[in-house]
Amino acid sequence: MTQEKRNPSLFSGGTLLLLLLMALGGVVTLYRMAKGLGAATNLSDEYPWGLWVAVDVLTGVALAAGGFAIAAAVYIFNMKKYKPVAKPAILTAFIGYLIVIVGLVIDIGKPASFWHPLVMWQGHSVMFEVVWCITLYTTVLALEFAPDLLDRIGMAGLAKVLRQKVILYPLVIAGITLSYLHQSSLGAFFLITPHKLHGLWYTPLLPQLFYLSAIAVGLAMVSFESIMSSRAFNRAYETDILKGLAKGTWITLVIYLVVRLVDLLAQGKVGLIFTGGTASLLFLLEMVGGVILPIFLLATRSAENVSSILWAQVLVIAGVILNRFNVNFLTQSGHGGSYFPSAMEMAITVGIIALGLFLYRAAVAYLPIFSQAEE
């Protein structure tokens, strides 16, 4: 069957729902821009970062990590069997970073000043480094994704130029470098909160833990995407690739688990796990449900079954999302304050997620995203 026959129609009942959610999010975004953060959110001085940062930035960047991980495997380590999932992974990463940028602009107190870090340099600021890395990596992803779009609009000559190794390989290397810098730096944000972030999460190794968990969830997201797209578009499962991704995920999770537990031992914080309360429950849920159980499922014969791989990778994704929520606001002490997202924050978040899903469906409908998998 040809790629054209396999491509789904852009418009369907699900697409119309996405458009409605996008429209609702857009209306609320206009209200937020007109009235400010105070009128639209429950953010405060005690909790300046809430749902938008947790979902659109911390989670969005982590879920998009599959782009640089698969690109490194295919183009740097010559693992050619993963090439069929390279395009979908890069597409997911590109859309993920576009969502991050949209979320950042909405969350900035003065959204019209979003461009300031690009011209007003502050080399000692972690946030300055993250803004620049995200900007540059989004550009890299756009260039990696561009050839298929250029082919579609009749610019095959330029698309061929961008596919040349002399251009593609430097882009891949730049993407890997930039991803390491800002994936870890997102964890470095919270190094200034030793008296606010709960001891089970605060550690000088936060940057390294953010990076390791991003690799694990990036591979999990590629697996999830591969399985769901195979079901949605009636394609055969890429079983060999799924098993390889499962192996990479559980090995990364084992390294993450060892580093985190040894760090707790070194800091004398193991006892905090068993003190009871919300923090202990969240920690056990994150580690048992999002790390230990997926390791068991992915490292045993359960990984021979596609459904088992799917559910294990879903647990990994849920565990990393919970980790980012825990670090960002769930386990922080607000010095008497509290935070729960407002309805407007939720509406904008849902609208942004709907935008990402719509863009993904549009790309799959009009571009040969899965052509290499079929070949």
Q: How far is CA 221 from the centre of its chain?
A: 8
Q: Is position 352 within any domain?
A: no
Around 251, how many Cα atoms within 13 Å sit in the side-chain half-sphere?
Answer: 7
* Tally of domains in the chain: 1
Q: Is position 4 within any domain?
A: no
Q: Is position 20 within any domain?
A: no
Give yes or no for residue 372 having a pLDDT over 60: no
Residue 374: pLDDT band (50, 70, 90) is very low
Q: Is position 6 within any domain?
A: no
Contact (Cβ atoms closer than 8 angstroms) between residue 69 and residue 219: yes
Q: Is position 364 within any domain?
A: no
**Which tens digit of pLDDT belongs to each residue from 59-83?**
989 988 888 889 888 888 888 889 8
Which bin fits 36, alpha (ψ -120 to 50), beta or left (φ > 0)? left
- Of the candidates 254, 241, 188, the one whose C-alpha atom is nearest the C-alpha of residue 215 is 254
**Which tens digit of pLDDT belongs to each residue from 13-48?**
788 999 999 999 999 999 999 999 999 999 988 888
Contact (Cβ atoms closer than 8 angstroms) between residue 60 and residue 132: no
- pLDDT for the residue numbered 1: 38
**Which tens digit of pLDDT belongs to each residue from 157-186?**
998 998 888 988 898 899 888 888 888 999
Q: Is position 32 within any domain?
A: no
Q: Is position 285 within any domain?
A: yes
- Rounded to whole angstroms, the Cα distance separating 33 from 111 reads 8
Q: CATH number of the domain at 188, please.
A: 1.20.1630.10
Q: Is position 292 within any domain?
A: yes
In 10 A of CB 35, how many CB atoms? 11
pTM of the entire structure?
Answer: 0.89
Residue 336: pLDDT band (50, 70, 90) is low
**Which tens digit of pLDDT belongs to each residue from 103-144?**
888 988 777 787 888 888 888 888 888 889 899 999 999 998
Contact (Cβ atoms closer than 8 angstroms) between residue 219 and residue 252: yes
Domain that holds residue 270: 43-334
